[in-house]
């Protein structure tokens, strides 16, 4: 395996499957199988999931809701998704821990860096919920922050697109895919990989990002094995 410890970033929307909102148990089960494939090979896995399938703080704010209140609702949505993924992973036979940036002691551990790293060393999948615990920060920022804290080798951003393109490939059929690209090129070309705060944090800490299609079975194993799947963003 090319990577020993990874942080997998999933969007909340990815959990919807073909539904309009909420969580698709079949999609969750597929993700759990993919994650088990790599943990069986000795890869240590941490996961951050968004909450967009349930609630988006930014969307709430655009409809007149207080932004801070909306962001706190979004954080709770990520915890709900974390619990759902935890259940699916345990059904697949994987030991897991859910840690949250906001204290919900009855359902999850608080985020403690040393504890998280110990869980990973023992082969448990660690799910980080609650974002960074602060409003105005996205789950992209939470993913990069946690990846740096646990000393992950790479951030794997699982999406429904198989990499980074010159334009949105779902809208522009002539969009060209990058196999690899530098952080500086992404910024100069104005390409959307993560929000700027998260992306800059990753760049400053020289933490590579791989954007790939998580919905294709076996892709996660291929990426972790070092196969040329998706787009690598490097220094």
225's tokens: 């094995």
66's tokens: 């207080």
Look at residue 6 and give its three-state secondary structure.
strand
The answer to whether 158 is annotated as binding is: no
Can you tell me the distance from the alpha carbon of 152 to that of 144, in angstroms, rounded to the nearest whole number? 9
The answer to whether 2 is annotated as binding is: no
Positive or negative, the CA dihedral 198, 199, 200, 205 is positive
The answer to whether 163 is annotated as binding is: no
The answer to whether 52 is annotated as binding is: yes
Q: Where are the alpha helices (DSSP H) in the chain?
A: 25-39, 57-62, 67-91, 113-121, 139-149, 183-189, 196-204, 219-225
The answer to whether 70 is annotated as binding is: no
The answer to whether 21 is annotated as binding is: no
The answer to whether 168 is annotated as binding is: yes
The answer to whether 100 is annotated as binding is: no
The answer to whether 159 is annotated as binding is: yes
The answer to whether 132 is annotated as binding is: yes
140's tokens: 């992209």
The answer to whether 64 is annotated as binding is: no
The answer to whether 123 is annotated as binding is: no
The answer to whether 134 is annotated as binding is: yes
The answer to whether 118 is annotated as binding is: no
The answer to whether 12 is annotated as binding is: yes
The answer to whether 138 is annotated as binding is: yes
Query: Nearest Cα to 75, choosing from 14, 138, 131?
Result: 131
* CB contact at 8 A, 223 and 210: yes
The answer to whether 25 is annotated as binding is: no
Can you tell me the distance from the alpha carbon of 71 to that of 207, in angstroms, rounded to the nearest whole number? 26
Which residues are annotated binding-site positions?
9-12, 51-52, 56, 71, 132-139, 159, 165, 168
Which residues are annotated binding-site positions for UMP?
51, 71, 132-139
Which residues are annotated binding-site positions for ATP?
9-12, 52, 56, 159, 165, 168
């Amino acid at each position: 395996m090319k990577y020993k410890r990874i942080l997998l970033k999933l969007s909340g929307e990815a959990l919807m499957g073909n539904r309009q909102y909420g969580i698709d148990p079949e999609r969750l089960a597929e993700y759990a199988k993919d994650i088990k494939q790599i943990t069986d090979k000795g890869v240590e896995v941490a996961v951050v999931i968004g909450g967009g399938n349930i609630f988006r703080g930014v969307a709430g704010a655009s409809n007149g809701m207080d932004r801070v209140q909306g962001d706190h609702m979004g954080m709770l949505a990520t915890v709900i998704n974390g619990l759902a993924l935890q259940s699916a992973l345990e059904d697949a036979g994987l030991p897991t821990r859910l840690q949250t940036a906001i204290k919900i002691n009855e359902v999850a551990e608080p985020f403690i860096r040393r504890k998280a790293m110990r869980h990973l060393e023992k082969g448990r999948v660690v799910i980080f919920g609650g974002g960074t615990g602060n409003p105005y920060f996205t789950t992209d920022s939470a993913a990069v922050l946690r990846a740096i804290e646990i000393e992950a080798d790479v951030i794997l951003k699982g999406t429904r697109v198989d990499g980074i393109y010159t334009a949105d490939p779902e809208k522009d059929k002539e969009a060209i895919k990058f196999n690899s690209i530098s952080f500086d090129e992404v910024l100069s070309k104005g390409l959307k990989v993560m929000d700027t705060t998260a992306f800059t944090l990753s760049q400053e800490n020289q933490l590579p990002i791989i954007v790939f299609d998580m919905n294709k079975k076996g892709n996660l194993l291929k990426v972790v094995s070092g196969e040329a799947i998706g787009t690598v963003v490097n220094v």
